[in-house]
């Protein structure tokens, strides 16, 4: 249908309404004389208007843009808009022309949409569009297309989005009925996207198959958020005499499909809300299942009258649809908004419940048309085989049924079973379902079974929806609290806060972060703070297929961070079928939100205190923030413990200061009195025990870490592995590092520690294997030195020396300046390098490795007395590693010396004692 045709319809329609009702039929007959098609268009509109009011005068009837000719599209190919090079045309429609383009700045392909001038010449209308598009771009949801930029060039407005590879739902449907499970899954994903946007105050207004993309992996992307507002202006901004102008699709002569997806309130020009999108999505679902739209007609006029007055034909007329699906579709298509689903989230929950119930039914049947007898089923249940064989496939079902559908009663009461199942067979199915759910609940659900189940999870830093970059740790505070609570269940592996800190950047994709963290599921969240109000949005995503398992919104005062933590933790635990005890929710280290905020900031800076950070900026800031938290809450046990830990790390790594150790002991004592169950207290005390300040008391340090792990099994594994390595318990060391990597597999510090385990114990082949496995790195100069491959080592040693030729303050200095010449037989040069290095090197946690290499230098030169002296210093300084001394070929020149034999006998006895105590 062309624009001219609609102008003709509109003119006759308005003229008819200006006459008395009794005169209208005669007028229409005269005005449409000789054109029965025109008469059939006008009469239904007039009749509906008499019943419904002047709905045609309303702005919502302006469904899309004026007709846009695309004859100039080819001229743009090869050209450039801003920094986007146009490669090809992807499509066109009422919303504008869409092109494949190359972002020349970032080197990525994107979708670029040029907006029609008719959309953008109204400045107020354009401003509203920009506001809503920006709001949509702030959403971070797996089922919403990402908006990159909204821009203008030479008066032409454009919008760029991620390029979604796949096909539109319109192309997927292509006039055919879809499989029930596929249709439900698609609509559930769209409903999840709408739930997030509605929570942000955004209404799409144009849900239809053309605006839904289906990726090859089955992930759904909803398009054109924000553009709908541009196409559907607010009532006060509309020329009501132009109501029918935009009933035209892209090409002349074709009726625009959008009218078939309009809600009744849209057709009447009333204010739309979230429930209008739900209606449109219901139409999409009906069309996918039935193979046709629920409201149709020969003309747009007939369609409008149908959707406002008629009930859609039942799905059963076109397909064998479950009764529950009939109920869901019927509820989405209620004429009165109050009788529809009130939220898209409720619709998504019902759809996922239906899909899961259908899967269970299919598995219980074994194959289409097959039903076991009640007796057979009872026997299977007794043997356990029925439950085992009928368990849902994690690849196609959510982690756990939603709360409203977590019992077999839901399936019975809602009638989701196929309507052809006879009563005895239905009873048998329900019996099996009951058995399955009992087994499922008692065994902990999906938390620990099967390669596709959820056994590990990462909770990413929650991000501000405003996108403002400022020092606001509210999101990290929410995340930290949830991690603490969920990890306490000990039912699955939770990545620690230290592992997720680097994923706070909004540009980082949640699924990519999850894959790097090697988890089965990921939680991402956003928060919006307006005055004293706080809204937190949470998404739980399965990593394997990107499926959104759960999404929800929480509303609190901005000071109720603890309530948010508790609520989200409870929901996550429920979705993953974890048992979160009331004590785990009620126990808090502080009830002061401001003190907690200082603590979270302090922990962020404290995590940067280590052996390779020589600046005091981070450590001083961490100490100051911990103190502020304690000033606000003197009974904040965890803040006292972490302040003590910070003092210890500063004293060990940055400043020789015994007074700091005393301060640390004082803070740890306060923390323990306030809360004897803090693992952090024992973790900090290990650090003091195994240091120069406490005489390197290895056994005490190990005992402290073991006590810490009794309170929290996820802490202390790399530290304990390091201790075991230093005393020669290699098997135990490897086991601890493996546990550490299970908790945090992407932690480079832990990976380096694994490599270091073999390096410091003189096992170069194991070093190379671990380097390749963990870092994809080849041999370095240390490898060649340990293997005595001097020719290969030479250029690498020189290269390392040139990086910092004046350095005497690191472990590398003793290896390059002392050990390297000793291997070449330049013993005098090697031994001469020792004194200046000892003058510069600090007596910290790495000191015993320097002293051990000094012993090796003297041993290679045949000076057994000096070598033995430095070996004893090495032991005294915390490195009594008998297996290393026994295997190290660099010590071979002195191995037959009587004094060395006596030393090795002492070391063996000590090592055997360690094995007895800690083996």
**In the structure, what pLDDT confidence band is assigned to residue 912 with cuts at 50, 70 and 90?**
very high
pLDDT at 241 over 90: no
Q: Terminal CA-to-CA distance of the chain, rounded, Å? A: 85
Give whichever of 124-138, 266-280, 723-737 has the largest mean pLDDT.
723-737
Give whichever of 160-169, 476-485, 840-849 has the largest mean pLDDT.
160-169
pLDDT at 410 over 70: no
Give whichever of 93-97, 154-158, 282-286, 609-613 has the largest mean pLDDT.
282-286
pLDDT at 513 over 60: yes
Percent of the chain with pLDDT over 90: 28
User: Which residue pairs from 806-810 have beta carbons closer than 8 angstroms and sit at least 24 positions apart in sequence?
Assistant: 808/836, 808/837, 808/839, 808/840, 808/841, 809/840, 809/841, 809/842, 810/841
Token pair belonging to 600: 């979270």
Please report the pLDDT score of residue 673 as a whole number: 95
pLDDT at 813 over 60: yes
pLDDT at 419 over 50: no
pLDDT at 863 over 90: yes
Please report the pLDDT score of residue 362 as a whole number: 54
Alpha helix positions (H), 542-689: 561-575, 582-586, 593-606, 617-632, 637-653, 658-674, 679-689
| Sheet containing 108-114: order of strands | 80-81, 84-93, 96-103, 108-114, 156-162, 147-153
**In the structure, what pLDDT confidence band is assigned to residue 431 with cuts at 50, 70 and 90?**
very low
Alpha helix positions (H), 139-173: 169-173
Positive or negative, the CA dihedral 623, 628, 629, 630 is: positive
* Residues 6+ positions from 317 with CB-CB distance below 8 Å: 290
Please report the pLDDT score of residue 297 as a whole number: 77
Tell me how far the alpha carbon of residue 287 is from its chain's centroid. Answer: 32
User: Rounded to whole angstroms, how far apart are CA atoms 915 and 918?
Assistant: 5
Please report the pLDDT score of residue 205 as a whole number: 85
Please report the pLDDT score of residue 308 as a whole number: 80
pLDDT at 376 over 60: no
Give whichever of 26-35, 589-598, 690-699 has the largest mean pLDDT.
690-699
pLDDT at 48 over 80: no
> Of residues 901 and 408, which shows the higher confidence score?
901
> Of residues 439 and 411, which shows the higher confidence score?
439
Phi first, then psi: give them for residue 515, nearest 5 degrees. -70, -40
pLDDT at 609 over 60: yes
Catalytic pick among 54, 72, 103, 206: 206
Q: What is the pLDDT of residues 454-487, one digit of tens each?
A: 888 999 988 876 655 444 577 788 788 888 877 7
Structure letter (DSSP) for residue 816: I
**In the structure, what pLDDT confidence band is assigned to residue 249 with cuts at 50, 70 and 90?**
very low
Active site residue 206: yes
CA distances from 322 to 148, 180, 256, 319, 357 (A): 41, 9, 32, 9, 11
User: Rounded to whole angstroms, how far apart are CA atoms 686 and 138?
Assistant: 45
Contact (CB, 8 A) for 84 and 101: yes
Please report the pLDDT score of residue 132 as a whole number: 56
**Nearest residue to 676 via CA among 641, 629, 701:** 641
pLDDT at 686 over 90: yes
Angle at 901 between CA 899 and CA 904, to 5 degrees: 110
Please report the pLDDT score of residue 11 as a whole number: 78
**In the structure, what pLDDT confidence band is assigned to residue 626 with cuts at 50, 70 and 90?**
very high
> Of residues 802 and 409, which shows the higher confidence score?
802
Please report the pLDDT score of residue 659 as a whole number: 94
Contact (CB, 8 A) for 694 and 688: yes
Please tell me the total number of residues recorded for the chain in this structure. Answer: 919
User: Rounded to whole angstroms, how far apart are CA atoms 295 and 301?
Assistant: 11
**Nearest residue to 446 via CA among 393, 399, 488:** 399
> Of residues 397 and 869, which shows the higher confidence score?
869
Please report the pLDDT score of residue 59 as a whole number: 33
The mean per-residue pLDDT over the stretch 710-731 comes to: 91
Question: Which residue's structure tokens are 């083996």?
Answer: 919
Looking at the chain, the number of H-run helices and the number of E-run strands are 43, 15
pLDDT at 270 over 90: no
**In the structure, what pLDDT confidence band is assigned to residue 828 with cuts at 50, 70 and 90?**
very high
The mean per-residue pLDDT over the stretch 255-271 comes to: 73
Listing DSSP states for 291-317 in one string gives SS-SS--SSHHHHHHHHHHPPPPPGGG
Alpha helix positions (H), 66-179: 73-76, 117-120, 123-138, 169-173
> Of residues 280 and 223, which shows the higher confidence score?
280
Token pair belonging to 434: 């009951």
User: Rounded to whole angstroms, how far apart are CA atoms 150 and 132?
Assistant: 11
The mean per-residue pLDDT over the stretch 571-583 comes to: 68
Other residues' Cβ atoms within 10 Å of the Cβ of residue 887: 12
Angle at 659 between CA 654 and CA 660, to 5 degrees: 45
Percent of the chain with pLDDT over 70: 74
Read off the pTM: 0.53
**In the structure, what pLDDT confidence band is assigned to residue 501 with cuts at 50, 70 and 90?**
confident
Mean pLDDT of the residues in the chain: 76
pLDDT at 279 over 90: yes
The mean per-residue pLDDT over the stretch 178-194 comes to: 90
**In the structure, what pLDDT confidence band is assigned to residue 439 with cuts at 50, 70 and 90?**
very low
> Of residues 673 and 505, which shows the higher confidence score?
673
Please report the pLDDT score of residue 136 as a whole number: 64
Please report the pLDDT score of residue 427 as a whole number: 37
Q: Is 87 helix (H, G, I), strand (E, B) or coil?
A: strand
């Amino acid at each position: 249908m062309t624009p001219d045709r609609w102008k003709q319809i509109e003119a006759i329609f308005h003229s008819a309404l200006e006459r008395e009702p009794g005169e209208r039929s005669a007028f229409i007959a005269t005005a449409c004389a000789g054109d029965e098609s025109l008469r059939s268009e006008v009469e239904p509109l007039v009749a509906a208007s008499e019943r419904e009011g002047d709905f045609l005068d309303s702005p919502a009837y302006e469904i899309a843009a004026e007709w846009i000719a695309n004859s100039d599209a080819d001229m743009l190919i090869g050209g450039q808009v801003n920094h986007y090079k146009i490669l090809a045309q992807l499509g066109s429609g009422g919303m504008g022309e869409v092109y494949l383009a190359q972002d020349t700045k970032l080197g990525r392909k994107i979708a670029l949409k040029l907006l029609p001038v008719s959309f953008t010449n109204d400045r107020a209308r354009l401003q509203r569009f920009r506001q809503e598009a920006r709001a949509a771009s702030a959403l971070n949801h797996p089922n919403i297309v990402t908006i990159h930029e909204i821009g203008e060039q030479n008066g032409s407005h454009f919008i760029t989005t991620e390029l979604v590879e796949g096909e539109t739902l319109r192309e997927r449907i292509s006039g055919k009925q879809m499989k029930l499970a596929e249709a439900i899954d698609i609509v559930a994903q769209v409903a999840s996207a709408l739930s997030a946007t509605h929570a942000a105050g955004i209404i799409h207004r144009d849900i239809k198959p053309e605006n839904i993309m289906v990726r090859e992996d089955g992930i759904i992307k909803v398009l054109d958020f924000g553009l709908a507002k541009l196409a559907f202006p607010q009532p006060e901004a509309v020329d009501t005499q132009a109501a029918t102008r935009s009933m035209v699709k892209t090409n002349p002569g074709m009726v625009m499909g959008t009218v078939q997806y309009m809600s009744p309130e849209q057709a009447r020009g009333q204010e739309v809300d979230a429930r209008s999108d739900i209606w449109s999505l219901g139409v999409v679902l009906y069309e996918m299942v039935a193979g046709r739209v629920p409201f149709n007609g020969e003309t747009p006029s007939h369609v409008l009258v149908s959707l406002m007055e008629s009930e859609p034909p039942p799905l059963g007329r076109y397909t064998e649809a479950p009764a529950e699906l009939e109920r869901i579709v019927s509820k989405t298509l209620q004429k009165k908004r109050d009788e529809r689903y009130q939220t898209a989230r409720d619709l998504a929950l019902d759809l996922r419940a239906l899909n899961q119930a259908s899967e269970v039914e299919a598995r219980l049947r074994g194959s289409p048309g097959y039903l076991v007898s009640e007796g057979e089923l009872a026997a299977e249940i007794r043997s356990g085989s029925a439950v085992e064989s009928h368990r849902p496939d994690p690849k196609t079902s959510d982690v756990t049924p939603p709360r409203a559908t977590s019992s077999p009663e839901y399936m019975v009461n809602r009638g989701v079973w196929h309507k052809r199942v006879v009563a005895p067979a239905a009873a048998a199915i329900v019996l099996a379902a009951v058995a399955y759910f009992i087994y499922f609940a008692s065994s902990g659900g999906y938390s620990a079974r099967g390669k596709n189940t959820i056994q590990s999870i990462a909770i990413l830093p929650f991000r501000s929806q405003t996108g403002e970059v400022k020092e606001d740790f509210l999101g990290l505070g929410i995340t930290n609290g949830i991690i603490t609570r969920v990890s306490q269940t000990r039912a699955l592996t939770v990545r620690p806060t230290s592992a997720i800190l680097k994923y706070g950047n909004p540009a980082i994709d949640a699924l990519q972060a999850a894959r790097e963290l090697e988890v089965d599921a990921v939680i991402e969240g956003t928060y919006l703070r307006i005055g004293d109000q706080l809204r937190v949005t949470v998404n739980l995503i399965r990593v394997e297929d990107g499926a959104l398992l759960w999404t929800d919104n929480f509303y609190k005062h901005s000071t109720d961070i603890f309530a948010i933590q508790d609520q989200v933790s409870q929901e996550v635990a429920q979705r993953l079928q974890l048992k979160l005890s009331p004590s785990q929710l009620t126990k808090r280290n502080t009830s002061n939100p401001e003190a907690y905020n200082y603590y979270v900031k302090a922990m962020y800076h404290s995590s940067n205190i280590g052996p390779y950070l020589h600046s005091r900026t981070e450590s001083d800031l961490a100490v100051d923030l911990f103190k502020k938290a304690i000033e606000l809450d003197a009974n904040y046990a965890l803040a006292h413990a972490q302040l003590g830990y910070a003092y210890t790390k500063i004293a060990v790594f940055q400043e020789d200061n015994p007074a700091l150790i005393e301060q640390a002991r004082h803070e740890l004592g306060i923390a323990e009195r306030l809360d004897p169950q803090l693992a952090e207290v024992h973790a900090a005390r290990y650090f003091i025990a195994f240091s120069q300040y406490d005489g390197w008391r290895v056994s005490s340090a190990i005992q402290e870490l073991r006590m810490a792990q009794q309170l929290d099994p996820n802490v202390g594994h790399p530290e304990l592995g390091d201790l075991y390595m230093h005393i020669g318990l290699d098997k135990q060391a490897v086991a601890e590092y493996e546990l550490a990597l299970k908790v945090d597999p992407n932690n480079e510090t832990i990976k380096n520690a694994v490599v270091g385990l073999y390096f410091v114990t003189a096992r170069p082949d194991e070093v190379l294997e671990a380097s390749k496995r963990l870092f994809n790195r080849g041999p370095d100069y240390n490898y060649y030195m340990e293997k005595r491959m001097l020719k290969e080592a030479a250029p690498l040693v020189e290269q390392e020396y040139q990086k910092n030729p004046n350095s005497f303050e690191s472990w590398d200095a003793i290896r390059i300046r002392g050990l390297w010449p000793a291997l070449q037989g330049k013993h005098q040069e090697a031994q001469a390098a020792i004194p200046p290095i000892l003058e510069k090197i600090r007596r910290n946690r790495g000191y015993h490795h320097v002293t051990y290499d000094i012993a090796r230098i003297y041993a290679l030169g045949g000076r057994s007395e000096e070598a033995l002296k430095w070996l004893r210093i090495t032991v005294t300084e915390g490195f009594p590693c008998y297996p290393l001394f026994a295997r190290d070929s660099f010590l071979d020149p002195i191995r037959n010396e009587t004094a060395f034999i006596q030393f090795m006998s002492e070391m063996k006895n000590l090592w055997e004692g360690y094995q007895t105590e800690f083996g």
